[in-house]
Structure 1
Amino acid sequence: MKVRLEWKYRSSKGVETVFRSDEMAAAQGVQIAEDIERTKRVKELLFIDSYDDSVWTMKEMKAYLKSIETEPHDITVYFDGGFDVGNRKTGLGCVIYYSQNGKSYRLRQNAQLDGLVSNNEAEFAALHLCVQELEFMEVRNIPVRFSGDSKIVINGMSGEWPVIETELVRWADRIEEKISRMGIQTDYELIPRKENFEADRLATQALKGIEITGTSSI
């Protein structure tokens, strides 16, 4: 979860004003909020959820973080698809970074598919692979950031652009159905290709028939 802090400050002379922070991870927000409270000049301090602008108190935020401690959380997903026009094969790459039990992990998964018709369809299929992996991880009812370099997928899934092609609509519908069933709060982020190098490499390896799967601590 990403949050912004909002606190009412009262000076030693009784002058009050309101400060607002930049967006940050919820756990980091709690640490900063605790430091702010030590000044003894905070009249009110709230956490604003960046996803839906819901408001949390310090007590509520700590309880939430405690409740998800043993489950995968702070999840960022990177996806990429590659399509070989010559042999009509598709390579899918998926990288998932997450926290659990106070540790950080990276999951890597790739796959090769037949029967797709374009690179855009490969990109949607790669995102679907990632959502499947989240389902296997039993991710439920938490925010997830999906990062990719495909404008068609990112803008299509976020609602910025319409998804028109029939084969792409089918993938988008399948993805949306899974995400809705899992209760995931989506945050789609378009990133430069160079920042998506891990997922891109996995997709390329899949096209070459090299299978990669596994989770490691980082």
Structure 2
Amino acid sequence: MNVRIEITYRTPKGTEAVFSSEEMRAKHALLITEDLEKTGRIKNLVFIDTHDNTWNLKEFKKLIEEIQTEPHDVTVYFDGGFDFNTRKSGLGCVIYYEQNGKSLRLRKNALVEELESNNEAEYASLHLTLKELEHLGVHHLPVIILGDSQVVINQLKEDWPCYEENLARWADRIENKIDKMGLDVTFKQIPRKTNQEADRLATQALRGIDILSTSEVD
């Protein structure tokens, strides 16, 4: 969860000014705020998220405590592969998140047969990722989505048009899922070598190896 801090600062002689910070992780905002409060010169202080929701310090501390028990600080990788010979697709996703003070990683893949191209497999793998986020209970949080597909990333960012009807249907399905879950999504294209973990899961799915695991990571 990212927020910015807005404070009203008062000098010893009563001069006031309002300052607003850049966006930062919630836990960092809380640390900075607690340090600022030691000055004794903060007249008013609020935390504001990307949707302009606001909290005072007491409300924000309670929110942070509640968030710690749920998945948060979510970053996901997705990849899809299409075998032209078998007409089958392998989907792979990796989800990194924090929960109850632990750093966790979920790995999931799937084999599907109804797709027609590699681009469609890439879209399907992202849809699989969102379904796994939904199963985890991730909602109304910022999520970073990383993939090496120029087509999927640029079409969902609306930098590229989407002329193919089947891909447009996938894009609509994904956007509707994101809206339903209330996610604040950042799409980023990454090099294929940076996406090897999701790529390996997609390849394993094509080989008939099913993967579903959650583990703690450093």
Shorter-chain TM range is: 0.7 to 0.9
TM-score if structure 1 supplies the norm length?
Answer: 0.85
Deviation readout 1:5-48 (Å, 9 max, x if unpaired) = 33344455656555444432112211221112222233333323
Query: SS where residue 68 of structure 1 aligns?
Result: helix
By how many angstroms is 1:155 displaced? 2.6
Give, in whole Å, the separation in 2 of the partners of 1:164 and 1:46: 44
Q: Does 1:26 align with 2:26?
A: yes
Equivalences for residues 17-96 of structure 1 within 5 A:
17-49=17-49, 51-96=50-95
Partner of 2:150: 151
Partners of 1:161 and 1:60 in 2: how far apart? Answer: 41
Alpha-carbon distance, 1:214 to partner:
0.5
Q: CA deviation at 1:105?
A: 1.0
Q: Which residue number in structure 2 is paired with residue 105 of structure 1? A: 104
**Cα deviation, residue 133, structure 1:** 0.8
**One-letter code aligned to 1:2:** N
Call closer, same or farther: CA 1:42–1:13 in 2, change over 3 Å.
same
Is the partner of 1:139 in helix, strand or coil? coil
- Normalising by structure 2, what TM-score? 0.85
Unpaired runs of at least 5, structure 2: none
- Quick one: distance in 2 between partners of 1:53 and 1:182? 18
Q: Which amino acid aligns with 1:124?
A: Y
Q: Label 1:8 to 1:198 Cα distance change in 2 as closer, same or farther (>3 A).
A: farther
Q: For structure 1, which runs of at least 5 residues remain unmatched after alignment?
A: none
Deviations 1:191-215 (A, max 9, x none): 3333322212212222233222100
Paired position in structure 1 for 2:185: 186
1:156 and 1:61, CA in 2 relative to 1: closer, same or farther beyond 3 A? Answer: farther
Identity %: 57
1-side partners of 2:4 and 2:139: how far apart? 23
Tell me the amino acid that sits aligned with residue 102 of structure 2.
K
Instruction: Tell me the residue number matched to 1:199.
Output: 198
* CA distance in 1: counterparts of 2:12 and 2:198, whole angstroms: 53
1:31–1:160: structure 2 CA closer, same or farther, 3 Å change rule? Answer: same
Question: Which residue number in structure 1 is paired with residue 3 of structure 2?
Answer: 3
CA RMSD of aligned residues (A): 2.4
Name whichever of 53-62 and 73-82 sits farther off: 53-62
Report how many residues are paired. Answer: 217
Map of 1:201-216 to 2, 5 A cutoff?
A: 201-216=200-215
Q: Label 1:178 to 1:30 Cα distance change in 2 as closer, same or farther (>3 A).
A: same
Distance (Å, rounded) in 1 between the aligned partners of 2:76 and 2:52: 23
Aligned counterparts of 1:211 and 1:151: Cα–Cα separation in 2: 27
Partners of 1:41 and 1:13 in 2: how far apart?
11
Write the distance in 2 (CA, Å) between the matches of 1:21 and 1:204: 44
Amino acid across the alignment from 2:43: K
